[in-house]
Amino acid sequence: MFVLGITGGIGSGKSTVSGILREKGLLVLDADEISRKVTEPGGKALPAIAEEFGPKAVGVNGVMNRKAVSSIVFSDKKKLDDLSSIIHQYVFEEMEEQVAKEKEKGTKCVVLDVPIPVKRFTDMCDQIWVVTCDRDVRLARLAKRGLDKEEALRRIDMQMSDDEYCSLGDYSIDNSWDMDSLNDKVMRLVKEQLHSRGIRV
């Protein structure tokens, strides 16, 4: 089974690329979706998060208080790393279980959508595509999500640079343009890298 990793910084369009692959019929395991699962009521990561960040980190509804936790981690790189470490542990356990199940079923390709390419992710992948984007375009996209410029810049700067992302990947996709351009670039890689391995989408 071929495991394809998709990664990139906030606002780069990583999830859009994964969405194109999902629409073409590939199974996508989304780290953000799994992280929400492990931080919802009864989620595996909640006890460790509450222990690390205090009782206010978990709301009265039993889910992670994202606003409270974000206010801590996006102003302190070490705290962000601590949170990431806790969540990654449970996210990758879930991903590894699902990948193993798909391998048993004979699935030819699984896509892993992961925002932070930690070693556990790179070790799981046979190939990694990095999604990059012009900084101003990223800021415009994040503004549409409701983040002001200062907050958006802070979040971008807390992550790796595009060069650092690309150093861990096999191919890069510049998503600074329109959707048609992005789709063309993704499908070119699909034909070059997946079709050649007998993976039809």
pLDDT tens column, 16-50: 999 999 999 999 999 999 999 999 999 999 999 99
Tokens 């930690």 correspond to: 118
pLDDT for residue 8: 98
pLDDT band at 100 (very low <50, low <70, confident <90, very high): very high
Return the CATH superfamily for domain 2-195: P-loop containing nucleotide triphosphate hydrolases (3.40.50.300)
pLDDT tens column, 136-174: 999 999 999 999 999 999 999 989 999 999 999 999 999
pLDDT for residue 75: 82
pTM for this prediction: 0.92
Instruction: Locate the domains of the chain by residue range.
Output: 2-195
- Identify which of 131, 149, 132 has the alpha carbon closest to the alpha carbon of residue 140: 149
